[in-house]
């Protein structure tokens, strides 16, 4: 069976130009004693918007690994796949994030539910989790409600998993189940039953929806103390469920939209260390935003280009935000007008974009609009890709520093 390692890091690369810079961050971490497995993740949504193909992700990753003599493992994550999109990735991925969010609350026949309850009478009741002071009391009605909510999702996950096994063979890939792109977070105790429902899949990571908001490219928005309490509960439940249901020992949590959650990293680090648990963190857009930062700071034609990207993104805000509606929070009133941005120099543009919270110019709305604005760059085609290449030394420095200093070190060291 392929192993992900205790710490793994999703390093999405929208335009497939930064694999080396990203891997350099991982290598620098390793040199200072931090072992992290790199995973290049890209969703069908990103491929579809950019008109790219997973073969390119695979090729660029392989090339970076070869050029930089990376001898440890690495993976290519088919992120957020379902039965209709999974084949697109099949020949190129060895990590599959099976997304069953759409199947939560899908109806299941009462007969099926009753038969499941009949076979698992001892599952509900008083559940005492070591480390959690109060035991949970799950009544038969609660149990039935949980099954009604998650059974179709578990069945779908199993179907997709079997489909991948048929194509790639057992043990030839990493399996993650995601249910983060939903409105309501799962309750920690629900996760216990979800893990039971998924126990026949050799899961290595699971991505629940946590409490609070995980908007793309900006910091966590929510109650930090509540997050801490729930995250600790989830870790304890996960630990208990692993022993109870004989799940893979290295099964760990996966945090989606994980970039830039600077206020959460100390909490996650402290609790995963306390309970000796691994973690997988996914990022993607943060690297694209470093590309924009690098282009802005390069000035001249590159600065003109990123101003143009903003102008177009501003005029197509609704369209660009559409696919990301649930994971961004932009106040149009707080966005600078394109005519204003046009007058900015390289520092003003970069400082408005960069995620430095106490910088007076930082504007999270500007940052989020550019986060979803990669479609504009994709449509530009060669002029954009050429600019990435021409300004590579500046850009790759920013890509590497962002991953290493602001993500890997705070989270994994
Ligand atoms: Zn996700």
Predicted confidence (pLDDT) per residue in 323-369, tens digit:
888 889 999 999 999 999 999 999 999 999 999 999 999 999 999 99
Residue pointed to by tokens 């691994």: 278
Domain boundary among 225, 260, 285: 285
Residues 176 and 244 in one domain: yes
Q: Using CA atoms, how far apart are residues 175 and 154, in angstroms rounded to an integer?
A: 14
Going by C-alpha positions, the residue among 332, 329, 302 that lies closest to residue 314 is 332
Please list, in sequence order, all residues whose beta carbon lies within 8 angstroms of the beta carbon of residue 331, skipping any fewer than 6 positions away.
365
* Backbone angle region of 260, left / alpha / beta, with phi > 0 → left and psi within -120 to 50 → alpha: left
Interval between CA 327 and ligand 1 midpoint (Å): 9
Q: Using CA atoms, how far apart are residues 370 and 285, in angstroms rounded to an integer?
A: 9
Residues 254 and 323 in one domain: no
Going by C-alpha positions, the residue among 283, 288, 227, 224 that lies closest to residue 255 is 283
Q: Give 342-351's long-range contacts (Cβ < 8 A, gap of 24+).
A: 342/307, 342/311, 344/307, 345/299, 345/303, 346/296, 346/297, 346/298, 346/299, 346/303, 347/297, 349/296, 349/303, 349/306, 349/307, 350/293, 350/296, 350/297
Which pLDDT does position 326 carry in this prediction?
Answer: 82
DSSP H stretches of helix in 96-139: 110-119
Q: What percent of the chain has pLDDT over 70?
A: 100
Q: Using CA atoms, how far apart are residues 79 and 43, in angstroms rounded to an integer?
A: 4
Residues 197 and 281 in one domain: yes
Residues 111 and 135 in one domain: yes
Which pLDDT does position 327 carry in this prediction?
Answer: 87
Residues 108 and 21 in one domain: yes
Give the phi and the psi of residue 72 in degrees, each rounded to 5. Answer: -95, 180
Residues 210 and 307 in one domain: no
Which pLDDT does position 182 carry in this prediction?
Answer: 87
Domain boundary among 219, 252, 285: 285
Residue 29 located in a structural domain:
yes
Residues 35 and 169 in one domain: yes
**Mean of the per-residue pLDDT values of the chain:** 97
Q: Using CA atoms, how far apart are residues 255 and 131, in angstroms rounded to an integer?
A: 23
CB count within 10 Å of CB 125 equals 13
Residues 396 and 252 in one domain: no
Residue 120 located in a structural domain:
yes
Contact 11, 39 (CB under 8 A): yes
Domain boundary among 259, 285, 311: 285
Q: Are strands 95-99 and 174-178 parallel, antiparallel or unpaired?
A: parallel
Interval between CA 74 and ligand 1 midpoint (Å): 19
pTM for the predicted model, two decimal places: 0.96
Residue 410 located in a structural domain:
no
Going by C-alpha positions, the residue among 67, 65, 66, 50 that lies closest to residue 16 is 50
Residue 412 located in a structural domain:
no
Interval between CA 281 and ligand 1 midpoint (Å): 10
Going by C-alpha positions, the residue among 109, 108, 141, 143 that lies closest to residue 123 is 143
Q: Using CA atoms, how far apart are residues 277 and 291, in angstroms rounded to an integer?
A: 33
Domain residue limits at 397: 286-404
Residues of the chain with pLDDT under 50: none
Q: Using CA atoms, how far apart are residues 221 and 207, in angstroms rounded to an integer?
A: 18
Residues 279 and 336 in one domain: no
Which helix (H) or strand (E) covers residue 188, if one does?
A: helix 188-197
Length of the chain: 413
Interval between CA 81 and ligand 1 midpoint (Å): 10
Domain count, the chain: 2
CATH (domain of 281): 3.20.20.70
Paired tokens of 329: 């929070």
Interval between CA 214 and ligand 1 midpoint (Å): 10
Interval between CA 186 and ligand 1 midpoint (Å): 14
Q: Are strands 125-127 and 136-138 parallel, antiparallel or unpaired?
A: antiparallel
Interval between CA 181 and ligand 1 midpoint (Å): 6
Q: Using CA atoms, how far apart are residues 89 and 77, in angstroms rounded to an integer?
A: 9
pLDDT tens profile 289-324: 999 999 999 999 999 999 999 999 999 999 999 988
Going by C-alpha positions, the residue among 114, 93, 109 that lies closest to residue 175 is 93
Interval between CA 254 and ligand 1 midpoint (Å): 9
Interval between CA 202 and ligand 1 midpoint (Å): 20
Q: What angle do CA 243, 164, 199 make, to 5 degrees?
A: 20
Interval between CA 206 and ligand 1 midpoint (Å): 11
Interval between CA 337 and ligand 1 midpoint (Å): 31
Which pLDDT does position 133 carry in this prediction?
Answer: 94
Residues 123 and 202 in one domain: yes
Interval between CA 335 and ligand 1 midpoint (Å): 26
Interval between CA 257 and ligand 1 midpoint (Å): 6
Q: Using CA atoms, how far apart are residues 70 and 274, in angstroms rounded to an integer?
A: 30
Please list, in sequence order, all residues whose beta carbon lies within 8 angstroms of the beta carbon of residue 109, skipping any fewer than 6 positions away.
none
With H, G, I as helix, E, B as strand and everything else as coil, classify residue 332. Answer: helix
Which pLDDT does position 320 carry in this prediction?
Answer: 96
Interval between CA 79 and ligand 1 midpoint (Å): 8
Residue 322 located in a structural domain:
yes
Interval between CA 125 and ligand 1 midpoint (Å): 32
The alpha carbon of residue 108 and the mean position of all alpha carbons in its chain are separated, in whole angstroms, by 29
Residue 192 located in a structural domain:
yes
Residue 291 located in a structural domain:
yes
Residues 82 and 195 in one domain: yes
Q: Name beta bridge partners: 81.
A: 98
Residues 110 and 68 in one domain: yes
Residue 413 located in a structural domain:
no
Q: Please give the DSSP secondary-structure letter assigned to residue 221.
A: B
Please list, in sequence order, all residues whose beta carbon lies within 8 angstroms of the beta carbon of residue 241, skipping any fewer than 6 positions away.
191, 192, 195, 196, 247
With H, G, I as helix, E, B as strand and everything else as coil, classify residue 398. Answer: helix
Interval between CA 80 and ligand 1 midpoint (Å): 7
Which pLDDT does position 86 carry in this prediction?
Answer: 98
Q: Name beta bridge partners: 221.
A: 213
Interval between CA 179 and ligand 1 midpoint (Å): 8
Interval between CA 399 and ligand 1 midpoint (Å): 21
Interval between CA 284 and ligand 1 midpoint (Å): 10
Interval between CA 403 and ligand 1 midpoint (Å): 19
């Amino acid at each position: 069976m392929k192993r992900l390692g205790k710490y793994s890091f999703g390093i999405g690369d929208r335009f497939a130009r930064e694999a080396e810079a990203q891997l350099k961050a991982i290598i620098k971490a390793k040199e200072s004693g931090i072992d992290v497995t790199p995973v290049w993740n890209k969703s069908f949504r990103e491929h579809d918007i950019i008109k790219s193909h997973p073969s390119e992700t695979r090729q660029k990753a392989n090339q970076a690994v070869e050029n930089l003599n990376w001898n440890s493992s690495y993976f290519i994550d088919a992120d957020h796949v379902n039965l209709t999109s999974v084949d697109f990735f099949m020949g190129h991925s060895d990590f599959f994030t099976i997304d069953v969010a759409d199947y939560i609350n899908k109806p299941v026949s009462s007969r099926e539910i009753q038969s499941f309850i009949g076979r698992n009478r001892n599952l509900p009741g008083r559940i005492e989790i070591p480390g959690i002071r109060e035991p949970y009391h799950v009544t038969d009605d609660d149990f039935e409600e949980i099954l009604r909510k998650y059974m179709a999702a578990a069945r779908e996950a199993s179907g997709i998993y079997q489909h991948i096994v048929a194509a790639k063979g057992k043990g030839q890939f990493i399996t993650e189940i995601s249910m983060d792109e939903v409105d309501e977070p799962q309750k920690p105790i629900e996760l216990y039953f979800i893990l039971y429902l998924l126990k026949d899949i050799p899961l290595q990571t699971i991505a629940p929806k946590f409490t609070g908001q995980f908007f793309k490219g900006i910091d966590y928005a929510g109650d930090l103390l509540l997050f801490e309490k729930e995250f600790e509960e989830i870790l304890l439940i996960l630990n208990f469920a692993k022993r109870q249901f004989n799940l893979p020992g290295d099964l760990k949590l996966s945090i989606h939209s994980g970039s830039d959650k600077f206020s959460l990293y100390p909490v996650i680090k402290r609790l995963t260390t306390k309970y000796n648990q691994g973690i997988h963190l996914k990022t993607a857009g943060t690297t694209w935003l470093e590309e924009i930062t690098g282009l802005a700071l390069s000035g001249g034609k590159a600065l003109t280009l990123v101003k143009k990207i903003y102008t177009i993104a501003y005029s197509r805000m609704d369209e660009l935000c559409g696919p990301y509606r649930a994971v961004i929070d932009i106040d149009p009133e707080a966005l600078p007008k394109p005519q204003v941005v046009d007058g900015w120099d390289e520092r003003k543009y970069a400082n408005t974009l960069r995620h430095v919270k106490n910088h007076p110019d930082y504007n999270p709305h500007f940052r989020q609009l550019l986060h979803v604005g990669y479609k504009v760059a994709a449509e530009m085609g060669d002029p954009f890709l050429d600019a990435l290449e021409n300004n590579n030394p500046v850009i790759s420095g920013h890509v590497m520093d962002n991953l290493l200093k602001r993500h890997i070190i705070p989270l994994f060291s």
